[in-house]
Amino acid sequence: MKEHPKRSVTKSITWRVTASIATLIMVFLVTGSVKFAISLGIIEVFVKMTIYYFHERAWNNISWGVLDEE
């Protein structure tokens, strides 16, 4: 099963929103600083979304665990 790159981008965006909300909450709980939590969250979004996209595309080239549709 191969995926279109747009699907990978969409998945990376929706995952980043979910994961970034979790990160913002955790950073705020640890530091008590909304400003620091938002700053770290903004950096994290771009770095991790880029990493996830390439991770997802790499896995599209690996056939291990992919079942043929019948």
Instruction: Give the per-residue pLDDT at 70.
Output: 61
Instruction: Give the per-residue pLDDT at 22.
Output: 94
Instruction: Give the per-residue pLDDT at 64.
Output: 83
2: buried, middle or exposed (CB in 10 Å: 19+, 13-18, 0-12)? exposed
Indicate yes or no: pTM above 0.85: no
Instruction: Give the per-residue pLDDT at 33.
Output: 97
What's the average pLDDT block by block, 10 residues per block, for the chain (70 residues)?
A: 80 85 95 95 86 87 78
